[in-house]
Structure formats: structure tokens, C-alpha cells
């Protein structure tokens, strides 16, 4: 009796091929994990062992993956005991990863104007999703990244013009710009070239500039802190466009076995407790925020 | 046993043949299929799989956070989230592959009547055995409230016994004063076997908000942190069980073959793996290999020959550890 979910997740001893520290306690780690890299999708995460002395794994989203070179890349922030130990791991060492896990983002055919919003360490799935849209000629995505600490890359002036965006708001993520994907940065801090304010305020300026026809082709994807997702969900319902969000909750198994990671969602049959690890992490915003 | 023959991991448990002494524990593997997501994982590597605690009606369970890491272990307060016994029997059991392993239901309730009703529904199903959970620390009624009261424990067992002829395994709580005398009462009430132990009650506090981290305020502690407690409880329950030929599934913090062997020597005929899967989903393979290697090097042909072979020190243990 083989079922679709069988053997979809791999346990790998992944070698750290690079590990870079950035301001604001942020780190980018590239791991050699060919099985996981081959199957990863935007929204997938890995459940990893930060250090053998900890009894539990930690969930971290996949930011990029290379099928050909067999690596995955993660962006994480040092916040507690697990990520502190993870930050100490050196190039050449191996860490145990379980992945790729989770129901990924699903772009709707015909919604040609995707809006991707990533806040803080919610940026990784948005970058993965943007990269996957590069190949799709019928999609014209716009990405907004927000951060209250310096961005984990060197912002550069964008070469791509985005109607509706104030003059002077030109800072962009070079990788996205190189891919030809329009993107802008937002922060409450006074970062040069960034929009000073919330990601949703910048998104509103973009929305208002679209004609009705174009607006109906928008679909929002978001990942970030809970209050940001709540504001994004409210904006989606204001403009009546579909919206998917990626959620976080404390996890134990990370594989659907313990029901430890649930969030309450509304279904046709009433409220239900859904597992973030396998039913999510991506959910319809309207089922979570209402 | 000749030096080159392979010892067997096959074990008889209440008349069921287990392919291995390993039992996957209730609440850690959903309804038996979740871990098959992991490449290399197989239910064939274990003797039995205990399904998630099941009640008469569907339950949504507790509010988050439901799980939290603690030193060498974790707290959980799931609150028996399950789709109700009818759904389990009609929708889930038909999709399980009973050629791979034995499947054991885990029954819970808020009243003795509910335990009876859920057991009766499972009796009329292909399930191989029924585990009665009178030790869940995470629900307001039933669960550990029954398990900590020897009279109530025996009443629940006696009632479930009337509902089924399938092997009945009583899951005992460590959160009680005299686990051995409770076990005795449960044997008299008709229990065929025991699971020892369920989780210990615990708490974790966020010092900034000054609130408990677990949504349910308290939770059940599992993992390596509870192993020494579990081992002593298995030893104590075994003293009662051995004269009645009642087998025990020893559990609580087992993560290696050496841990499993300690439980077997203390008196467990089978060993439960729960929290260890969260760290290493393929841990059962290495535990099977480790047990086989031990049996071989000690010239034992099966696990049965090791059960309860603990040799106590001659000195009389004092009740206090000081
Ligand atoms: C699906 C998913 C994807 C994620 N992706 C990323 C990412 O790409 N980059 C990143 O920096 N972080 C990400 N997180 C959050 C990350 O898992 C936590 O920051 C991390 O677990 C904290 O561990 P700690 O031991 O350092 O912190 P502590 O605060 O010491 O953690 C204590 C315990 O709480 C749990 N915990 C605390 N905060 C969170 C949280 N926000 N989410 C889940 N568990 C938590 C930990 O896992 C641990 O068990 C993601 C979380 C989920 C659920
Ligand atoms: C997340 C989680 C959920 C559990 N749910 C149940 C349950 O529904 N019924 C039950 O009898 N025991 C339940 N348990 C207890 C386990 O079956 C087991 O007895 C306990 O965790 C000790 O073993 P371990 O340390 O190997 O995990 C649960 C344990 C965990 C960690
Ligand atoms: S973490 Fe166990 S079900 Fe999601």
C-alpha cells in the first residue's frame, strides 16, 4: 500500500559547506543534502539537530535549493539555546536534517501578479518562491522584504521600476534584482533607500496604483511575524485577493506524529486543529485570521 | 545456542507475535502512518504500533503551546486530540497494513462508561490489542485522575474487560504512590499486560511573561530525563507480574539499545519508543541491531531469556535515597 506521502522526507547527515554571520544575529548556512535539495519546494522546511546535546530538533525554512549541486540554504536568527548552538557549528561539520517537510505554497494559475511579503526570518520561503517563479513567463511577481535589523545581504539600488513606489525607495536584494524580479525593502529603521514603515504600508501604495483588472490578478504569499501576517491577511481581505501565509508553532516530531504543533483553523465543518508541520506550514490566510 | 546462529527478535506478547520487542508509543506516531513519510522508516521494524489516545467523540485538544523542550526531555499537553472512535474504526483502521506489524488501540475517556464504549467499538474491529490509558496527565477528567486511584483503576479495567476478549494492556501512571499495588488490583480486574510508565507531570515557566509556557499550564514529561524513574517502576511492577506471567511494555526515555536492554533486564518483555523518534526517526533500526548484537555476544537465542534477569545487590535497599 504505497501512498503519496510515503518516503517523501529524508534523514541526512548534511555537511556544512558554508556558514556566514550577518549583523543582527543572522546567519546563512549552506548544507550538502542532495535528497532534500531534490525535493524541496517553496514553503518546505527542515527539522534539524542544532547540536547532539539537545533532545529536540528545530524547524528552519529552506531559502534556496540546488538540485544539480545538491545543497540547500537556510537563513536563521540566533534567538535561544538551539540557534545559539547552531551558530557555533563550523564549515565541514555535519548536522542531522530531516526534510523537506510541509505543504508548500501553491501559486494559482492565472493569478499573474503575485505579491510576496517576507518579514525578518520569514524572508527565506519568499526568496525560494520568487526563484521558482523566474521560469514562469506568465507571472510578474513583486517582492517586499521587511527587517528591523540590517538585511542579511548588501542592499543595492534596483534596476527594475515599480509603478506606485515612492521615489527614493530603491534599495533591493541584489539576488532578486539579478533574477529580474522586482523587489523593495521596508523597515521602521532609517535604512538608506528602504521604505520607512511597515511592509503592508508599502504594499498598499503598490495596490493603489494597479487598475481594477490587474488587481484581480494579484495573489499574496507571506511569511513573517504573527502581527505582520495578521496585517497582510487584513489587506488581502480588503482588496479581496487570495492569500497564503506560512505559520510557526513549537514542534516535537515535525512529521505529523504528535499533534504538538497545531494551530486553530476554520474549515467547512467548523474549527479544527491543524498541524503546522504537515498540514502547513502554509495555510489559506482566511482560514487562520478572521 | 550455537555460536554462529542468529538470535531472534521475535517475541510473544499476550499471544501476539511481535517481529521485535519494540513498540511505538501512543501519541508519538499519530494513527500509525505518519512516520512512513520518512524514507527508510518501516512499521515492519517494530513489534507493534500504539495508536493515538481515542475517545468516544472527536476532541480538538488543548490550546498551543502543546510541546516544549526541557533538559534531556520534553513536556507535552496535547489534550487527546482525536477524531473519535467511529472515525478511527471506519476510516483509519481499513487503511493500515496489518501484515506489517501489530496495531494497538489506546483508549481514553472521562467516565467509566466512555472507556467501556470505546473499548467495545475497538473489540468489533481488526485491532490486535487494546491499551487502556488511565494515566493521561493532560485532560481535566478521567486519565490520571482514574490512574492515581487504585479503586478507580481496577473499576476501569474490570469494565473494559467486559467489553473485549482482545489482549487488554493497562497503562500505569508514575504519578502515584504505590504503582505495584495498583498493578495487583488491575491484574485481579482482568488486565492481561501493562505499559509502564506514562509521562510524569511537569511545568515550564516563561520568566518574562511569568506564565507557563504550555497552554494547558502543565504537561507530561517524557524522554531521557524520566528513564531512571521508569526503570524503577518497571522493576516494581515486575515483582507483581512475574508470578502471574503478565508481560510489561517498559517505556520512558529509551533512546538506545542499551536503554532497551536495561528495561528488559528489569522485567519488560517489550520496550516502548516515543520521544526518541523525534530526535532520530530511524532509531528503531539501530535499537534492533544493538539488541541482536547483545543477545549474540551473551549467547542468548531470544529476548525472553533476558526478561527479568536482574540480579539485585545483597544489601537491603533503604526507602530513602539520602
Ligand atoms: C515551519 C517553521 C519555519 C521556520 N523557519 C525559520 C527560519 O527560516 N529562520 C529562523 O530563524 N527561524 C525559523 N523558524 C523559527 C525557529 O524554529 C525558532 O526560532 C527556533 O526553533 C528557536 O529555537 P531556540 O532553541 O534557539 O530558541 P528557544 O526560544 O530557546 O526555543 C525553545 C523551544 O521553543 C521552540 N521555539 C521557540 N520559538 C519558536 C518559533 N518561532 N517557532 C517554532 N518553535 C519555536 C524551539 O524550537 C525550542 O523547542 C521557523 C519555525 C517554523 C515552525
Ligand atoms: C506528544 C506525546 C503525546 C502522547 N500521547 C499519549 C496518548 O495519547 N496516550 C497515551 O497513553 N500516552 C501518550 N503519551 C505518552 C507516551 O506514549 C509514553 O508513554 C511516554 O512518552 C514515555 O515514553 P518516551 O519517553 O519514550 O516518550 C504521549 C507522549 C508524548 C510525548
Ligand atoms: S510537530 Fe509533531 S505533529 Fe507537528
From chain B, pick out residues whose CB is under 8 angstroms from the CB of A82: 69
- Calculate how close chain B gets to A186, using CA atoms only, in Å: 29
- A77 CA from centroid of ligand 1 (Å): 9
pLDDT for residue A1: 59
b or e along A82-93 (b: 16 or more beta carbons within 10 Å of the residue's beta carbon)? Answer: bbebbbebeeee
| A27 Cβ closer than 6 Å to some ligand 1 atom | no
**Does residue B226 have a pLDDT over 90?**
yes
> Which one has a higher pLDDT value, A3 or B293?
B293
| Closest residue in chain B to residue A50, using alpha carbons only | B279
Q: A182 forms bridges with which residues in the sheet?
A: A142
Q: Do A255 and B76 touch (CB under 8 A)?
A: no
Give yes or no for a contact between A232 and A206, defined as CB atoms under 8 angstroms apart: no
**Does residue A52 have a pLDDT over 90?**
yes
Q: What is the mean pLDDT of residues B132-156?
A: 80
Residues, chain B, total? 322
Please state whether the predicted TM-score (pTM) of the whole model is above 0.90. Answer: yes
Q: What is the mean pLDDT of residues A230-236?
A: 97
**Does residue B175 have a pLDDT over 90?**
no
Q: Is B183 on the interface with A (CB under 8 A)?
A: no
Half-sphere exposure of A249 (CA within 13 A, CB side): 30
pLDDT for residue A63: 98
Q: How confident is the model at residue B17 (pLDDT cuts 50, 70, 90)?
A: very high
Half-sphere exposure of B23 (CA within 13 A, CB side): 35
- Calculate how close chain A gets to B183, using CA atoms only, in Å: 28
Output the average pLDDT for chain B: 94
Give yes or no for a contact between B223 and B74, defined as CB atoms under 8 angstroms apart: yes
In chain A, % of residues over pLDDT 70: 99
- Calculate how close chain A gets to B185, using CA atoms only, in Å: 31
Q: B195 forms bridges with which residues in the sheet?
A: B171, B249
**Does residue A180 have a pLDDT over 90?**
yes
Q: Do A252 and B40 touch (CB under 8 A)?
A: no
| Closest residue in chain A to residue B277, using alpha carbons only | A253
How would you write B55-69 as a 3-class SS string? CCCCECCCCCCCEEE
Q: What is the mean pLDDT of residues B311-319?
A: 81
pLDDT for residue B2: 52
Closest CA to ligand 1's atom 48: B69
In chain B, % of residues over pLDDT 90: 90
Query: Could you identify the atom of ligand 3 that is nearest to the CA of residue B278?
Result: 2
Catalytic one among B136, B186, B241, B284? B136
Determine the residue among A6, A95, A256, A257 to mutate to test chain B binding: the one whose Cβ has the most chain B Cβ atoms within 10 Å: A257
In chain A, % of residues over pLDDT 90: 95
Q: What is the mean pLDDT of residues B260-271?
A: 98
Give yes or no for a contact between A62 and A123, defined as CB atoms under 8 angstroms apart: no
Query: Could you identify the atom of ligand 1 that is nearest to the CA of residue B213?
Result: 34
This complex has an ipTM of 0.95
Q: B93 forms bridges with which residues in the sheet?
A: none
From chain B, pick out residues whose CB is under 8 angstroms from the CB of A257: 28-30, 34-35, 277
How would you write chain B as a 3-class SS string? CCCCCCCECCEEECCEEECCCEEECCCCCCCCCHHHHECCCCHHHCCEEEEEEECCCCECCCCCCCEEEECCEEEECCCCCECCHHHHHHHHHHHCCCCCCEEEEEECCCCHHHHHHHHHHHHCCCCCEEEEECCCCCCCCCCHHHHCCHHHHHHHHHHHHHHCCCCEEEEECCCCCCHHHHHHHHHHCCCCEEEECCCEEECCEECCCCEECCCCCCEEEECHHHHHHHHHHHHHHHHHHHHHCCCEEECCCCCCHHHHHHHHHHCCCEEEECCHHHHCCCHHHHHHHHHHHHHHHCCCCEHHHHCCCCCCCCCCCCCCCC
Q: B273 forms bridges with which residues in the sheet?
A: B24
Dihedral through CA B220, CA B221, CA B222, CA B224, nearest 10? Answer: -170
Least confident of A248-257, B118-127, B175-184, B267-276: B175-184
pLDDT for residue A3: 78
Q: Do B67 and A96 touch (CB under 8 A)?
A: no
Closest CA to ligand 1's atom 50: A60
Q: Which residues line ligand 3 (CB under 6 A)?
A: A 251-254, 256-261, 275, 277
- Residue entry with cell 467509566: B112
Amino acid at each position: 500500500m504505497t501512498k503519496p506521502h510515503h518516503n517523501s522526507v529524508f534523514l541526512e547527515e548534511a555537511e556544512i559547506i558554508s556558514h556566514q554571520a550577518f549583523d543582527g544575529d543572522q546567519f546563512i548556512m549552506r548544507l550538502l543534502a542532495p535528497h532534500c535539495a531534490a525535493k524541496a519546494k517553496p514553503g518546505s522546511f527542515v527539522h534539524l539537530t542544532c547540536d547532539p546535546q539537545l533532545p529536540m530538533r528545530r524547524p528552519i525554512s529552506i531559502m534556496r535549493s540546488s538540485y544539480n549541486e545538491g545543497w540547500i540554504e537556510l537563513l536563521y536568527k540566533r534567538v535561544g539555546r538551539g540557534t545559539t548552538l547552531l551558530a557555533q557549528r563550523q564549515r565541514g561539520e555535519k548536522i542531522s536534517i530531516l526534510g523537506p517537510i510541509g505543504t508548500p505554497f501553491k501559486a494559482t494559475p492565472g493569478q499573474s501578479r503575485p505579491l510576496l511579503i517576507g518579514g525578518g526570518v520569514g524572508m527565506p520561503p519568499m526568496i525560494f518562491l520568487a526563484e521558482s517563479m523566474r521560469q514562469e513567463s506568465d507571472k510578474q511577481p513583486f517582492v517586499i522584504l521587511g527587517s528591523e535589523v540590517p538585511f542579511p545581504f548588501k542592499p543595492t539600488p534596483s534596476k527594475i521600476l515599480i509603478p506606485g513606489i515612492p521615489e527614493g525607495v530603491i534599495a533591493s536584494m541584489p539576488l532578486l534584482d539579478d533574477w529580474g524580479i522586482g523587489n523593495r525593502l521596508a523597515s521602521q529603521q532609517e535604512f538608506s533607500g528602504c521604505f520607512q514603515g511597515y511592509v503592508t504600508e508599502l504594499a498598499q501604495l503598490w495596490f493603489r496604483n494597479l487598475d481594477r483588472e490587474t488587481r484581480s490578478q494579484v495573489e499574496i504569499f507571506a511569511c513573517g511575524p504573527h502581527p505582520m501576517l495578521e496585517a497582510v491577511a487584513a489587506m488581502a481581505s480588503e482588496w479581496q485577493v487570495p492569500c497564503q501565509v506560512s505559520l510557526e508553532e513549537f514542534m516535537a516530531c515535525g512529521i505529523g506524529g504528535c499533534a504538538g504543533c497545531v494551530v486553530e483553523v476554520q474549515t467547512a465543518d467548523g474549527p479544527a486543529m491543524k498541524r503546522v508541520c504537515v498540514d502547513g506550514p502554509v495555510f489559506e490566510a482566511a482560514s487562520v485570521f478572521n | 545456542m550455537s555460536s554462529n546462529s542468529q538470535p531472534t527478535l521475535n517475541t510473544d506478547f499476550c499471544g501476539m507475535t511481535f517481529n521485535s520487542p519494540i513498540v511505538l508509543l501512543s501519541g508519538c506516531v499519530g494513527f500509525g502512518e505518519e512516520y512512513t513519510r520518512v524514507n527508510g522508516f518501516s512499521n515492519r521494524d517494530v513489534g507493534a504500533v500504539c495508536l493515538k489516545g481515542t475517545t468516544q467523540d472527536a476532541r480538538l485538544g488543548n490550546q498551543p503551546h502543546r510541546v516544549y523542550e526541557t533538559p534531556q526531555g520534553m513536556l507535552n499537553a496535547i489534550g487527546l486530540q482525536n477524531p473519535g472512535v467511529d472515525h478511527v474504526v471506519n476510516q483509519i483502521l481499513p487503511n493500515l497494513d496489518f501484515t506489517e506489524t501489530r496495531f494497538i488501540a489506546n483508549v481514553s475517556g472521562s467516565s467509566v462508561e466512555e472507556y467501556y464504549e470505546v473499548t467495545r467499538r475497538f473489540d468489533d474491529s481488526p485491532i490486535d490489542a487494546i491499551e487502556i490509558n488511565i494515566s493521561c496527565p493532560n485532560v481535566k477528567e478521567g486519565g490520571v485522575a482514574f490512574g492515581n486511584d487504585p479503586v478507580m483503576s481496577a473499576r476501569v479495567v474490570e469494565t473494559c474487560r467486559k467489553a473485549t476478549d482482545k489482549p487488554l494492556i493497562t497503562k500505569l501512571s508514575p504519578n502515584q504512590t504505590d504503582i505495584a499495588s495498583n498493578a495487583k488490583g488491575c491484574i485481579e480486574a482482568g488486565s492481561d499486560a501493562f505499559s509502564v510508565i506514562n509521562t510524569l507531570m511537569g511545568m515550564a515557566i516563561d520568566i518574562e511573561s511569568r506564565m507557563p509556557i504550555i497552554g494547558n499550564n502543565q504537561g507530561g514529561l517524557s524522554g531521557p530525563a524520566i528513564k531512571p524513574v521508569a526503570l524503577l517502576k518497571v522493576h516494581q511492577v515486575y515483582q507483581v507480574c512475574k508470578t502471574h506471567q503478565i508481560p510489561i511494555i517498559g517505556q520512558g526515555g529509551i533512546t538506545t539499545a542499551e536503554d532497551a536492554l536495561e528495561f528488559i533486564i528489569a522485567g519488560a518483555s517489550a520496550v516502548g519508543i516515543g520521544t526518541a523518534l523525534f530526535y532520530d526517526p530511524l532509531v528503531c533500526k539501530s535499537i534492533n541491531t544493538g539488541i541482536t548484537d547483545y543477545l549474540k555476544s551473551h549467547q542468548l537465542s531470544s529476548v525472553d531469556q533476558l526478561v527479568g534477569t536482574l540480579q539485585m545487590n545483597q544489601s537491603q535497599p533503604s526507602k530513602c535515597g539520602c
